[in-house]
Each structure stands twice: as structure tokens, then as C-alpha cells.
Amino acid sequence: MKKPPIDLGSKRIVLTGGGGFLGRHVYEELVSQGALNVVVIRSAEYDLTVEAMVERLYRVHAPDIVVHLAAVVGGIGANQENPGRFLYENLIMGVQLMEYARRSGVEKFVSVGTICSYPMHTPVPFSEDDLWNGYPEETNAPYGLAKKMLLVQGQAYRAQYGMNAIHLLPVNLYGPWDNFDPESSHVIPALVLKCHEAIERGDNEIVCWGDGSPTREFLFVEDCARGVVGATMLYDSGEPVNLGAGFEISIKDLATLIAELMGFTGEIRWDKTKPNGQPRRCLSVDRAATAFGFRATTEFREGLSRTIEWFRETQLVKSIVAEQVRR
């Protein structure tokens, strides 16, 4: 007999990274599912790499549930430039947050990991059972392994202390409020920005990393938020769970599609001196469907169109503000 879902309205919920890309959408989904007391933790107020700050968080807010989304993230370039920082800050945040959750008697700890934790040559579609069958792709390994330790810690605490810690593995996300910073963005916002800037400058080409052959799977951020909140309410196992859309597209085809949707008609040139990253990524999504009824519902082209629309509206606002400042 299945347990009834957690009544979010009766719980104090701490949401780390709640002001970030995924966090904004998870917050909205929590509220839509009846949550009445959600505390959004932002780095400006709480530096979660500092133990005293973590201790204060639990003392001040006394949560029943912690949903841990906060992370230091970036694309291939950012991972190559910051392997030590990405490992240390992600690792120390997770270790301290879960340890103080245990000390504070938190009812449930939801950790959101990364697809970068999977071995480089995982058979497609990636099954959760293959998570330990090799070393992650090297450019993302420090980040992927740091987040993977949240799974190990949660399973260890479940075994020794009976802690209800769950671990979710979302695939590459995209959608409104994504990070479009050229220094740290992931592939979809990076390509959208490249096309936008090329159109603005009148360039006849854009340059992309690698040879375009790797494949990736992408999950619309609102779908992911539904998955995170659904698991928070319904999933209580220590086994990791993929959150994905169950399809893959090559980076070359992705670039062509984004250029079409953006209205960029120039050449797409591939810089083969740059790394490709992991050869293929596509998840098995059966466990999430069976365990808590999660399936992605946003068609990829529709999701990209909504992302581009949001980006353009944001750019228009920035342009208007910049013009007013100049005046």
C-alpha cells in the first residue's frame, strides 16, 4: 500500500538555491502544491560553504524538509577553469547541509545532483544502476563527483541514522531564467546568445565548440520542478532517480534548430580544437514514472521557443533600461 503524499502545507520547507534558475520554478511548484511556509535561501544571506552559516540556518528556520538545489555550476569551459572550486564548494555545501539536517531532526532531505555524475561511457539510455560503472567525463568530473557524494552521504545516513534522504539526477535543463552569461552558461543559452549577438552585429557565422557530434537530452525547467516536488511529496527510497525527457539530440542538430528559431541564417562553424564533452547523454526515465508518476510533458521545440521568447523579452528590457540610463 502506497503512503499518502506529504502535506506540504503543514511543513516548514527550506529551499537552497531558491533564487536560481531551477529554484525559482521549484518554489512556484511548491506553492502550487499547497506549501505555505517556504524559506528561500540565497547566497547573499547564507554562505553555505561556511559551517557557522549552515548552523544558523537550521537554528533560525528549523525546517521539516530541506530541498537542496544550491550549486556552483557552469558549462565545459567553466568546469575546465574551476575544477578545484567546483569540487570543494559543491562538496562542502552538501556535506554540511545534510549533517546539520541530521542533527536537527529534519524529516526529509532532498538532494538534487547532476547527470555529470554518470561514467563517461555509460550505455544509453543511462540507467541509475550504471551510476558507479566507471569514471565521469573528465571536464565535468570534479563537479559530478562532488554532487555524487550527496547520494553516498544520504545512503550512509539512511543506513546508520534512518534519515529520509533522497537523491535526484536531472538531465540538462533549459527554459526561462536560465543563465545566459557567456562565461558560465550551458549549451542552449550559449547558442541562443551566440545567434542573438551574430544577428545584432550582422555576422555571417557563429563558432561552436567541438565537432557537433555529441548528443544531449534536455528537460524543460518547469517539468523538472514538477519532478522535484513530486519526489519530495511521494518518494522515500535511498536509490537515485533520473529526471529526464527520454530523448536525445546531437549538438549539431541543436545548433541548427536554435539558429532556425532565432532567425540566424549564417554559417555554423565547429572549432574541433575544443572538447566535445561526454559522447552521449540520454536517460532511462522509468524509475521516476513508476515511483512517483513523473513524465516530462513539454515538447522540445515548444520549450525552446518559450526560452527564446523569454530571452528576447529580457534583452528588450535591458535595452530600454540602458537607453534610459544614457539619457
Residues serving a catalytic function are: 143
Residue 14, C-alpha cell as written in the block: 527550506
Note whether 18 and 27 are within 8 A (CB).
yes
Note whether 261 and 174 are within 8 A (CB).
no
Residue 305, C-alpha cell as written in the block: 521557443
Helix (H), strand (E), coil (C) string for 186-236: CHHHHHHHHHHHHHHHCCCEEEEECCCCCEECEEEHHHHHHHHHHHHHHCC
Residue 3, C-alpha cell as written in the block: 503512503
Task: Give the integer Cα–Cα distance in Å for 304 and 218.
Answer: 10
Q: What is the DSSP letter of 134?
A: S
